[in-house]
Each structure stands twice: as C-alpha cells, then as structure tokens.
Amino acid sequence: MSDWITVREFPPQQDLSELAQFIRRSGLPLRITEERNCQRLATPDPRLNELLQPLLDRWSAGEIDLSQIQVTAQHSETGSDTGQAPGAPGETGGDYQATVAALPSWPLDRTPVSLILILLCFVGWFLASDSFARQLIILPDRGADFSLATSSLAWHFANGEYWRLWTPAILHFSLPHALFNALGIWIVGRPLEVRAGSGVFIVAVLVSAAVANLAQYWWSPGTIFGGMSGVVYALVGCVFVLQRRHPEWLEVPRGIVAVAVGWLLVCATGLVTLLVGVGVANAAHMGGFACGVALAAVYCLAGGDRHFTNDDGAA
C-alpha cells in the first residue's frame, strides 16, 4: 500500500461501519485498514483525498449522514465512458463530484432554540381557544382616528406589558397554520441555528418577531393577529442574503426562498383571503422578510457569514 495516500486516521475503538457502507455503495477506491494504534482510511487518488476531507469533517461533527452523500466521477475526454471511478494509481479517470442527496440531519441538541419554537407553535394553537390568549395578543384598536400615542399598544406599554411585542407570534388560530410554521422552522431555522449558533439565532428571532408584530399592528391596528409566519419569513430573508454571499451553501434548498417569496406575493394580492376566507398577516410577512434581509446584511458585514462557507463547518 505504499502508493496509497492516507485520507484520515481514526481511533481504534471508533465504529466505522457507516463509512464502510459508504465505500461499498460508492464503489470508490478507498480502503480501511487496522494498524497498531488507529484505523486508516486510504486512497490511491489525491483528487479523492481532497474531496473527502470536508465531507469527513462534517460527518465527524455529526452534521451529515454518509448515506445522504453520493460521489460520482466526471470523466474527461480521454477517460472511459463506463462511469466507474479509477481503482488504482495511473488509471484514466476524471474529476470527482460530491452531491448531497437529502437535507443534512443534525443532532437535536444542536438546535435547541428551533425545537422550542416548533413546540411553541403547537402550544400557541392549544392556547388560542383559551381565554389566556387574551394575555398574549395586542388588543385591537377600534378608534377611527388611530394614533400610536393613544393606541392599545401604548396602553399595554403603560401597564408594563412589554411581552406583547413578542407573544402574538406564539398564537396560532388553526392547526394547519401551526404545522406550516413548525415545518418552516425545521427546514429553514435549524440550518441557520447550527451555522450561526444558538445565541445569534435567538437574537434574530426576538428582533424579527417584534418587527413583524409591530408591522402588522401598524398596518391593521383593529385586527387580532397571531402566528410565527413573520419569524419564518425573517429566516427566509436571512437565507436569501446568505446564499447570495455563499452560493455553495445549500443546506436550505434554493427553491425554498423562491416558493416562500412567491407565496408572500400571492397572499398580498388578497387572492388567498378571497378563496379561503381566512385573513393573512401580510404586513407581518413583509416586515419579517425585510427584517431578516437587514439582519443578515449586518451579520455579513460583521464577518459572521464565514460560518456559512463549506470549509468552515457549523458553528
């Protein structure tokens, strides 16, 4: 094995069964050998060595499952057309390419804030039918001449009820609404939390929730509203900015942003309310999205977006 290059060494007691299955499934020229004080993964091809390093880093960090990874060989004009990767030094082959076949799966303890938000979606749906919900909403302002100084929001603040800036985001008036927002947090929120860290993530959530709720109240002060859609749209806004800074960061599928923005525009036309008969907090959606874009821009200017490069790994 003198011509084989060491890709990674692992402790002798580490379970490498998942890695062995990946090698068998991919058919790549890789070997795991047991030596005195380690288990050694080796390859004869230096190009494969370079490709595997970041994948192994993320696998060791628990960010991805190797069953979600597909590695293929792209052959050059002088290479064979069999689609098989070269198996020994000197054989003709092309460049290797890695593709993630599914969304990364992180351990639940890496995304505690996202999990709490998901739980709150369903708690808020349960509370929406209870009289306690009155303590969470911003009471509607029925005055014909709306003035912020004499509004119901000003009255809340005068009584020290500052929590109402955030608690409308908890309430959900239907189970589908709670489910969709929980799904949005799972798909968009968890990748952001893993990369940026829970501290930065919770600040973004708190700021965007307040901005979205204030935007909706200002736009329609006489309407009771609730839901975490404003926060979800803020996270979509963050992804929108971050994927333009780092196009290679695809832990949130690109289509998610397009679908979310498309849905926002459709709802803004009033078509959904006309067809379904359910009010939509359009101002909260737009305010949340704008807030997310602004927060992500500041985050990038501060250098935080370095956590979203593929060679950095999760924060």
5-100 and 108-308 agree in CATH topology: no
pLDDT digits (tens, 9 = 90+) for 37-68: 899 999 888 888 888 888 888 888 777 777 76
pLDDT at 212: 97
Which CATH number does 5-100 carry? 3.30.70.2080
Tell me the mean pLDDT in the region 205-224. Answer: 95
- Element at 32 (helix H, strand E): strand 31-34
- The strand ranges marked E within 123-221 are none
Task: Please state the domain extents for the chain.
Answer: 5-100, 108-308
| Residue 218 pLDDT exceeds 70 | yes
Residues forming the active site: 229, 285
| Residue 90 pLDDT exceeds 50 | no
Residue, of 211 and 47, whose pLDDT is higher: 211
Cα torsion 214, 218, 221, 226: sign = negative
Task: Describe the crossing of helices 198-219 and 112-127 by its angle, rounded to 10 degrees.
Answer: 30
pLDDT at 299: 97
pLDDT at 310: 60
Structure-token pair, residue 137: 């909403």
pLDDT at 201: 98
pLDDT digits (tens, 9 = 90+) for 69-80: 766 655 444 443
DSSP-derived 3-state class of residue 70: strand
Q: Which of 181, 139, 182 is nearest to 159 (CA)?
A: 139
Confirm if 9 and 39 have CB atoms less than 8 A apart: yes
Residue, of 92 and 292, whose pLDDT is higher: 292
Any idea which fold 108-308 has? Rhomboid-like fold (1.20.1540)
